[in-house]
Every structure is written in C-alpha cells, then in structure tokens.
Structure 1
Amino acid sequence: MASTFFGLNIGSSALGSFQAAVNTTANNIANLKTTGYCRQTANLQSTAALRVAARYGSMGTGVQVVSIKQERDLYYDSKYWEANSSKGLYEQKLYYLNQIEDYFKDDTTQKGFTTIFNKMFNGLDTLKTKAGDETVRNQFINQSQQLCTYFNALSTSLTEMQEDVNEEIKSTTENINAIGQKIATLNREINNIEIRGAYANELRDQRANLLDELSKIVDVQTVETEIQNKNGENLGGTNFKVLINDQTLVDGDDYRTITYVARDQAVNKTDANGLYDLVWADTGMSFAQANSNSSGSLKALFEIRDGNNNDNLKGTVADTSTNNKLVLKNTSVQNLNALNVPESGQLTLNGKKYSYNGWSATLDADGKITEMEFNLTAESELTDDQLANAIGNTASDGVSYDSKGIVYYQQQMNEFLRNFAEMFNSIEKDGQTLDGEPMGTFFQGETTTGTLYNFNGAYVDSEGKYVSATTNADGSITKNPVTKVTSDMDSYYKLTTANIRVNNKSLTDPKYFATTTDITKGTDAYDLVEKLKSLQSDVTMFRGDKASSFLETLLSDVTVDVDKTKTFYNNYNNLASSVDTHRTSISGVDEDEEAMNLIKFQNAYNLAAKTISVMAEMYDKLINETGVV
C-alpha cells in the first residue's frame, strides 16, 4: 500500500512542476522583445501510477515536467524562408535597376541621349544651309563628340556598377560561408545538450535566426533526422542538414564553403576585369547560381551583373569541327554588330569549358553569320572521344540569364552604336573634305592603349555590301568583298560604348568632314548631309525603330523591368509578412497569454501548497492526537 506520507510527495511534485511552469512563463515575458526568440512551454505529465494492495488497484503519484520545448511550426518556417528568398531576390534587383533607370533618364535634371542626339541632328540642319562654314562645321563635329562622350560616360557608370556588384557577390559569399560555419557549430552544441535528454531551446533559436538571414540570400531547405544506433533506437541527438539552391551547405557539424574565383578571361565583350565565378571549395564544381529554381539576393546580383536576356551566343557543333577548332552552325546571333563574345574567352560544351584565343565568322550574301569557328587553345583541344560526343550538341558562350542586366544594356548600346557609326561612316567615306581629299572614318574606336580602329577591315558600305577598304597611293579607296570576319580584323565588332570617339582630325580641323561627294560642286554642296539626316529616322537602325527612338526603346526595357520587379517585391514582401504573422502567432510571445499563464500557474501552485497544508493538519491529527485519552 501507499506510504502514510504519500500525499506530501504528490503535493511536493505539484509545487516543483508549477514552479517550473511559472519560471518558463517568466522567461517568455523576459524575452518579449528579443528578436528571434521562440516561446517555450513547460510540458506537464502525470507520473507513473503506484500499484497498491487495495480494491482500486493503483494510485496516481503526482506530476512532473517532462520537457521545456519551443512552440515552433516547421511548416511556417519553410514557407517563410521560401517567401523571404523571393523577397530578397526582387529587393536586390530593384535597388540596382533603379540606378540603371536613372542612367538612361533624359529630363530637365539630366541631359540624356535624346537631347544630345537631336541637338546633333539639328546641327546637320544648320549645316545644310552653311556647309562650307567652318564655324558651323565645328559646332556639328563637337556635338557629335558630345554624343560619344555621353556613351563613354554611360559605359563607365555601368562598368563601375558591375564592379560594385562583383564585390557584393564576394562579400555575400563570405557571409554564406560564415553562416554555414556557425550553423555547423550550433548543431554540435545542440547535440551535446540534447543527447543527454535536455532541449537546447536558446541554441535552436540562434540557428533559426541564422536560417532566416540565410534565406534572404539563397533558397534554403532543411532536413532534421533522429540519430539512431544499428538497432534503430534513437540516441537523443539529431542530424541537421541545410541545403542552399538544392546543394548541401551543412550536414550535421560538417559544413562546406564556396570559393570566389576571379575570371582570367572575359565572358562578354565589355565585361569588367576579374569578375568572380563561384565554386565549391571541396569539389571545384560550379555553384548553381543560375539555377531556375533558385532565389535570393545572391541570384539577383548575378542577374544584374551578368543578365543577358538569354542572348548569349549559342550554336550547334558542326561535323566540320576538329580537335583544335569548334565550328558552330545555327548560331543564336546572326548579326555581326550584335555579337558580344570577347576576342578570346571560353565556350561551354557538355558541361565543360573550352578556352579559345580567336574566332572567325562566315557571312552570307546578306551579311548574316552562317557559322562561327573558334580556335581552341592547346590546353583545351578536344580528344577524339570529346569531339565525337560534341557533334550535334549545343555550345554556348557563358550562362544564359533570363533577365536584363548590365551585360544586356551594354550589348544593346554596342549594337546601336555599331549600326549607327557604320551607316554614318559609309556615307562619309563616299565624300570629300573641304580640301578635296577622300574622307576617312568619322566615328572611330580608341582603346585605352591608344589603338585606333577605322573599321576598314570589314564594314557595310553605302550599297549595303560587306567590304574591306584599302587606301591607294593617290588617296583613292579600293573596296574588296568580305565573306569572313575574324576577331582580330578591324571591323565594327571592335566598336563599343567605351571606345567610340570622333576622328581627331575632324576635331582639330573642321574641314575634315564631308558634306558632298564632289567638292567641285562648291563648298556649300550638301548632298551627303541629306543622306546623313535620314539616319535619324532610319527604322533599320535599332530593333525595327528609328535611331532617335533608341533611348525610348531601351528606357522602356528598364522601366518595364523596374515596374515588374517592384510588383513582385511588394507581393513577396506582403507574403513574407503574412507568413511571419502566422509563424509568430504560434512561436511568438503574447503579453496577454503569458499574463493569463502566470495567474493560472500561480493558482495551481497555491492549490498545491494548500494540499500540503491540509496533509500537514491530517498528519498532526494522526500523530499527535490519535490514541490520546
């Protein structure tokens, strides 16, 4: 049978249990404003019954606190991480797209392309009436240089932004590595506590906060499994695994790191130097930043830095390829002026990168690219097996990003300038200067080393034919048809927003500009001016629209992107807030609820104390008064 003093034990267990419940409630109240704190609950359970030699068979023995655990719903955690990743993606993109939009503005606060371009062509109108006036000529030439300076400055701004984004990719990668290391350390500490039967609630809070932070950077998934022995018995600890972009970052107390590697070769024609690629330090495999299922601010940084609107060069490897040459047919880019591959770079084929140090493009009668041949470096030559497996597969220059970033806008500007300068120069080359000399190239390209491009190696002449130009001893020009253009040829491929300029001869001597094909007609002859003027409204200049609408077309791209990104950001921001509200309703500390718990557990504690008082009176009666006469 039960001990005579059994009731005291029951009351004592109640006092201890309700004291623990009050302490847990007090801890919740103390952490009411603590960021990331998860509400804790003392879980009470009746103790094992005691068998007694009586008709009722057994008696309850009291109560005990079996655990103090967090009130957390993993479903809402995962939904929050998902929404937070998308929020991070669009928040980061919006920040940089707003800057790009500002670069293209043309209003009262900032002179842009349309203002400068129209001013230049207004100068042509004046030149029609005073073609021989050197002052008017000089004014037009300087207005033309202003257009070049505008694009030079725009290119510099975008390149500097690309470098800034690149540095942010580096710091973000370091942050991911630091978070991964902290989570692995916490996993070890949590298991050290929980394998002994306790619950590491505060450490789990720290880990959850790190996961919240990580989810804004990359897509996050977690898997937690019980650690068991060979008999399938739980040992008390768990194995906590963190995946980012479907790749393992943390596995228990082991973690992986991501390394940023500076490119030794450019991927795009106008890329800044030393852009980083991300690889896993342990395997050297590429980090899947362009994964279509990924999200987060890191992906946004790559989409801004490398975004090409899926316009990177792609082509089918032809059977005319050899071990040291890759020949691509059916290329995605068929216009030479739209080509954005560097002179030397890398092609990706069957998941492997192959370096090349030059290329050539074969043109048809209409000047369209029919095939491209890339000269592979000695280190990248194909084996016979690799060559056999390559035929018919797709090779590409860099990664395709379904977004419009810096690479896209640089390429669009390059294409416009190449088209415009080529058509302008072709008209000029048919003319004569005021001194009666053959006019050369008006718009040139100049590299940082001072190399000048006159584009005589390959260009479309005024008759629409691809030709090269050779200057004869008497100053006349001989044109030769061109069917193949190479990367080292002096073609308009060499022209970019960064290097365009007006011929220095024209800047120093306004007579060096052609307004007529025959100066014997008089210095005021302007037959070429009429042709130059028509370029302003030429609908073949850029994406089926006239040259003067270039800015509107490009600004439309970025404005649509900004509006779309802003909408997505607001949607995911609201979704993340909504999910977090649901999450907080479960795991957050509510003042009213905790106040009620205090009163509830205080009353229970008082009743337990009253029970012991009653028991004490009964024992006093039993011990001191029973049997006394």
Structure 2
Amino acid sequence: MPSQFFGLNIAASGLRAANAAMNTTANNISNCNTDGYSRQKVQQEAADALRVFTTYGCAGAGVDTVAIERVRDEFYDQRYRDNEKLYGEYSQKNYYQSIIEQYYNDNGETGFSTLFSRMQANLQSVMTAAGTTTTKATYVASMTAITDYFNTMSINLQNLQNDLNQEIKTTCDAINSIAEEVASLNEQINIIEMTGTTANDLRDTRDLLIDHLSEYVSVKVKETDVIDENDPERDTGATRFEVWIAGGTCLVDTYSYNKLACIARDDDEFINQTDITGLYDIKVVRSNFEEGSGKYISNFDLDNANMGGKLYGLIQMRDGNNQKFFNGTSGAWNPLTHTMSVTVTNDYLKDMAQCSLPAEGVIQIGARTYEYTGWTYDGDSTYTFTLDDTDDETGRAVDFSRLQSRSYDTVNVGKSIDYQGIPYYQSQMNEWIRNFAREVNNITTTGYTSTGEDGCYMLTGDRTVSSNTSPAQYTFEELTTTNYGYYYLTADNFAVYSAMVHNSNLLATKADTTEGDDEFGNIDKLGDMFNSKEVFRGATSGEFLDKILADAALNTSNASTMEKTYEALRNTIDNQRLSVAGVDEDEEAANLVKFQNAYTLSSKVVQTLTEMYDQLILNTGV
C-alpha cells in the first residue's frame, strides 16, 4: 500500500513538470528573434506506476520530465543547405558577369563599336586625300585607339581576375574559421551531453554555422553515437560529428578539423596564356599547417562539379575556359633534349589564333606533373615540349624515368572548366586580335606608300621583356615565318607598329606604284576587308562587340535568373523550416496559459492534500 503522502509526491511531480514547461516557454518567447534558434519542447511521460497489491492493481505515480528537446527537421535543414550552395554559386557569377558586361558595353565614346566606326570614318577620309599626312596620321591614331581599347580591357579583366583570386582566399579563410568553431562546439556539446543532458543551444549554434558554411561550399553532415567497446549497451551520450564538403573532403571530424590552404602558383606555373601571376591553388591541410612547410593532405580539386557554393562560382569565374584547354596524347620522349612530343586532335589547338597555351608552365603527363620551359608547334597536329630538368624547390634533378618507357599517356595543361570566365573572354579578344592583325598586315605589306615605297606591317605586339638584342615589338618576320603565327599577340600587348605611329607616311595607301600620290587602292582593300571579311566567329571585324557582348549578356542573364530562383527557394524552404523549428508567439502565449493552469492545478492538489493531512493529524490524533 502506498504512503499516505503519496499524493504529495504526485502533485510535486506535476509542479516540476509544469514549471519546466513554463521555463521552456519563457525561453522560447525570449529567443523568438534569435537567428538559428530552434523551438524547444518539454518531453513528458507518465511515471512508472506503483504496484499496491489491491483490487485496482497499480497506482499512478505522477509525471516524469524526461528531456527538453529541440523541435527541428533534418530534412528541411539539408534542403536549405543544398539550395544555399546553388544560391551562393550564382550570386557570385551574377555579380562578376555583370561587371564584365559593363566593361564591354559601348558608352558612345570609348566603346569598341564607337572606336571602330570612327576608325572606318577616318579611313574614308584617307581615301579622299591619300597623299596627305594629316589624314593618314588621324587614321593611325584611330587604330591606336582600338589597340588601347584592348589593352585597357585586358587590364580590367586581369584586375578582375586578381579580385576573384583574393576573394577565393577570403572564402577559404571563412571556411577554415567555421571548421575551427564547429570542432570546438563538438567538444563542448559532448562534455555536456555525456552528463545526460542535451546541449540544445550549442547545437543550434553549430547548425547555424553549418548553414553559413553551405553558402560557401556544398556540405554534408553525419552524426553517429560513440559506442563503449567494453559495454556496447551503455549510452555514452557522446557523438561523432563529421562535416564533409565538396562531395568528399573531410573538413571536421569531431574535435579535429582540416583547413583549405591557398598556395600561390610560382611565376612559371601558368595555366592560361593571359593568367596573372600568383593565382591560388587550394590544398587540404591539417589544422596545425604552417605556410611554406609543403605538408599537404591532398589537392582540392578546382574542377570538382560537386564543390558548389560561392567558392565554386568564384573559381569558375577566375578559371573558366569554356572547356578549351590544352590536351593531347604523349608521343616520343627524347632523354637527351628532355623533349616530349604531344599529338592533339582538337581544332582549336591547331589554330594559333585560338591558342591560349602559356609559353611556360605546368604540364601533366599521365599521373605525373612536370614543368616545361618552352614548346614548339609543327603547324599540323604535334606540339613538342621542353621539360625543366631541375626541381625549383629542392634544386635536384627531375626524375624522367617514367617517361622513357611510356607513350600514349594523356597530356594536359590546365583543366576543362565548363564556364565562360576570365580566361574565356581573354582568349576571345586574342582570337579577334590575331585574325584582325593578320588580315590588316597582309594588305598593308602588299601595298605601297604614297611615295611609292614598299608598305610595312601595321599591327603587332609589345614584348613583355625587351633586350638590347630584341626589338621592343614583334617583327613582321616573327609573326609570319614561324608556325606560331600571330600567337604572340594578345589583348595585353596589342599595338600599332611604333615606326608608323611616329611617321604615318609609312602607311601603304597605294595598290599601284604607277599611279599618283592620291591613289588609294590599298586603302580601298582595307575598307572592303573591314566590311566583308569574316575574322571572328563567322562575323566581320566590326561585329566583334556583338559576339562578345552577347556572351556576357547571356551569362549575366542566366546567372541573374538562377540567383533569383534560388533566392525565392531559399525563402520558401526557410519558411518551411520556421514552421517546424521557429517560435510562434501566439502558440507560445497559448502554451503559457496552458502550463500556468497546470501549475495552478498542481498547486491546488498540494493545498487540498495539505488540508487533508492537517485534518488527519491534528484533529484525529493520528
């Protein structure tokens, strides 16, 4: 038979349960506007009944407050994070593509179409007075304005690539900071939960960090119970919490974490011809990594389609080559000259106007990576690379033994990045420049000046480094007598022949030396070429901007549309999450009244039982 005071124990359990519920409700209300906070709920269950050996069997023993738990749905969390990685990616693409589109837009003063039209108008003026120095000087100056336009565009894109590069480092630093915080929280959570309680607020903080992380890179989390090997049935309360990013890179494993280290490429480690120096590769390193140590866990694959997030958008903008990169099959290896022949099949690799292979850089042959110091092209389908025989870091001789017995290996310089980023726009300008310069020079070198002298080339490129033995600009022979063709010309160094800038009378205006000074047959050929010759993507010279601006506008439009789509989904999914985990003030107000009534009723039971015990003890003398 239970004690006479059994009822007080039952009432007291009701008071404790109602008090816990009221406190939890108060906590919910106070955190209704706290970012990342999950609504909490008291879990109650009937206490184990007391067997009393009477006809009615067992007596209820009140209520047990089992736990205070978060109300949260992991399904919505993962949906939100999957959407965040896409939102982060396209927000970056939209921002930077918009800048590129602004660069190419013609403002009516310094844009390409305006400058090209002005140059054509000045060409018409030369036709009216071909023997006049002033009209020729004006025309040469207008052509110089076009070369300056490309120089400026190249500088703008290089600066933008540098901005992207620095933002990649900033993003990696943010990821590392979150990894460190999550590892610290894992330890705090386990310390608390091994005592038998639930660290709700710390778990909310951790989930909020994972939400932030998902905007930078794709995220998957895995939490498993830690098992006591000596007593597998015992609930340890501890868990192993793992964070995996980019489809397969471990970032956090409970108390330990890895980092993403940005390692700048050396000056001779270019991937694209127009890349700036110091672009970052990303390595996975341990948390105690020291810069310069060279101790890496693995490479962080930059063309990983599972990467997602802002980091993926930034890398695609910085490195996007629209899948046009150097790739071929290895052939003969010459151990004496350290040269390797490579056979290519892609048409764009057989056209020097489209070639974006850097003069020196890093080449991957099979599974090994080497540095090359130069290359040649046979004009058909074979490139020959000269490999550096000394390791720059160690100063030791490079081991080429694997190349001697191998052929038909896959050879790559860079990787296929399926997006139109900075390298793509640079290569498109280079292609136009090379084709345009070739057509102009073919005409000017076959004509004659107004005084009957042989014409000279008009368009060339400034050398990056000039010496006493090399002219400051590429000669016509260099551009025409080798299989490199006009490869040396880029948007960065595009220029009018310096001698013609100083003496416009070098411009070949005549097609027939027997005619007078005002004969303009060669100028007429130039005009016809501008209007009818297809030099770029099936279009004439003056239609360059239409082609390139169409790319930029389409990319911006697509990125903007996707950003808005994923932003709308972000709000929808977040509202779904809030419907489960968020604090509803009206609901909490109703709960407050409900638990207040429960507390009042339990108090009333205590009061009633107290009166009964007073009557029993004081008035009956029991």
TM range (shorter): over 0.9
Contact 1:313 1:331 in 2 (8 A): no
Tell me by how many angstroms 1:439 deviates. 2.7
Q: Is the 8 A contact 2:333 2:403 kept in 1?
A: no
Equivalents in 2 of 1:620, 1:387: separation in Å?
Answer: 104
- TM-score normalised by the chain length of structure 2: 0.92
Q: Which amino acid aligns with 1:5?
A: F
Match of 1:321 among 333, 356, 363: 333
2:96 corresponding residue in structure 1? 96
Query: Structure 1: where are the runs of 5+ without partners?
Result: 364-368, 460-466, 469-481, 486-490
1:548 counterpart letter in structure 2: G
Aligned ranges for residues 93-172 of structure 1 at < 5 Å? 93-108=93-108, 111-172=110-171
Contact 2:116–2:542 under 8 Å retained in 1: yes
* 1:37-92 deviations in Å (ceiling 9; x for gaps): 11111111222222223223322211121111111111111110000110000001
Instruction: Select the residue among 266, 279, 283 that pairs with 1:279.
Output: 283
- Name 2:289's counterpart in structure 1: none
The 8 Å contact of residues 453 and 494 in structure 1, kept in 2 or not, is answered as no
How far apart are residue 312 of structure 1 and its match? 1.1
Cα contact 1:331–1:371 (8 A) shared by 2: no
What residue number does 2:386 align with?
A: 375
Alignment of 1:289-438 (within 5 A): 289-318=302-331, 320-323=332-335, 324-332=338-346, 333-363=349-379, 369-379=380-390, 383-386=400-403, 388-389=405-406, 391-438=407-454
Distance in structure 2 (CA, Å) of the matches to 1:392 and 1:88? 40
Q: Equivalents in 2 of 1:279, 1:538: separation in Å? A: 50
- Counterparts of 1:397 and 1:136, CA distance in 2: 47
Distance 1:382 1:326, change over 3 A: farther
Most deviating of 607-616 and 5-14 = 607-616
Separation (CA, whole Å) in 2 of partners of 1:457 and 1:352:
37
Q: Distance in 2 between matches of 1:267 and 1:457?
A: 28
Find the aligned partners of 1:563 and 1:158 in 2 and give their Cα distance. 20
Percent identical among aligned pairs is: 37
Matched with 1:503 is: 497
* Contact 2:344–2:382 (CA under 8 A) maintained in structure 1: yes
Which residue is equivalent to 1:473?
A: none
One of 582, 605, 623 as aligned partner of 2:617: 623
Whole-angstrom distance in 2 between the partners of 1:439 and 1:213: 64
1:276-299 Cα deviation digits (max 9, x unpaired): 110112434211232112210011
**Matched residue of 2:238: which SS?**
strand
Secondary structure of the residue that 2:3 maps to in structure 1? coil
The superposition leaves residues 420-474 of structure 1 with CA deviations (integer Å, 9 ceiling, x where unpaired) of: 0111112111223344433332112113545533343454xxxxxxx52xxxxxx
> Would you say 1:514 and 2:508 are equivalent positions?
yes
What is aligned with 1:82? 82
Structure 1 position 537, deviation (Å) = 2.8
| Distance of 2:302 and 2:3 partners within structure 1 | 69
Matched with 1:463 is none
Q: Is the 8 A contact 1:444 1:452 kept in 2?
A: no
Equivalent residues of 2:450, 2:518 under 8 A apart: no
Q: Give distance in 2, aligned partners of 1:425 and 1:524.
A: 21
Aligned to 1:250: 252
- Secondary structure of the structure 2 residue equivalent to 1:378: coil
Distance 1:379 1:538 in 2: 51
- Aligned equivalents of 2:39 and 2:546: distance in 1? 55
SS in 1 for 2:191: helix
1:351 Cα offset (Å): 4.1
Q: Which range moves more in the overlay, 577-586 or 450-459?
A: 450-459
Work out whether 1:227 is the aligned partner of 2:226. yes
Contact 2:450 2:510 in 1 (8 A): no
CA distance in 2, matches of 1:529, 1:591: 80
Aligned-residue offset at 1:349:
3.2
Tell me the secondary structure at the aligned position of residue 3 of structure 1. Answer: coil
Match of 1:260 in 2: 262
Aligned mates of 1:88, 1:402 — CA distance in 2: 18
How far apart, CA to CA, are the structure 1 residues paired with 2:465 and 2:621? Answer: 117
Amino acid at match of 1:144: M
Shift of 1:595: 0.6
Rounded to whole Å, the distance in 1 between the matches of 2:362 and 2:530 is 38
Q: Deviations over 1:127-169 (max 9, x none)?
A: 1121101111111010000101111111111111111111111
User: CA contact under 8 A between 2:224 and 2:240: conserved in structure 1?
Assistant: yes
For residues 483-502 of structure 1, the aligned pairs below 5 Å read 484-485=483-484, 491-502=485-496
Give 1:21's aligned amino acid. A
Counterpart code for 1:135: T
Q: For the residues of structure 2 that align with 1:539 and 1:328, how far apart are their CA atoms?
A: 33
Measure the CA separation in 1 of the matches of 2:303 and 2:312: 7
Please, what TM-score do these two structures have when normalized by structure 1?
0.91
Give the letter for the 1:429 counterpart.
T
In 1, Cα distance between equivalents of 2:598 and 2:364: 71
- For 2:14 and 2:595, how far apart are their aligned partners in 1? 10
Separation in 1, partners of 2:532, 2:411: 35
Structure 1 contact 94–562 (Cα < 8 Å) conserved: yes
Cα distance in 1 between the residues matched to 2:443 and 2:465: 29
Contact 2:270 2:358 in 1 (8 A): yes
Any idea what SS the aligned residue of 1:589 has? Answer: coil
> Where does residue 214 of structure 2 map in the other structure?
215
Q: Which amino acid aligns with 2:262?
A: Y
> Match for 2:474: what amino acid?
N
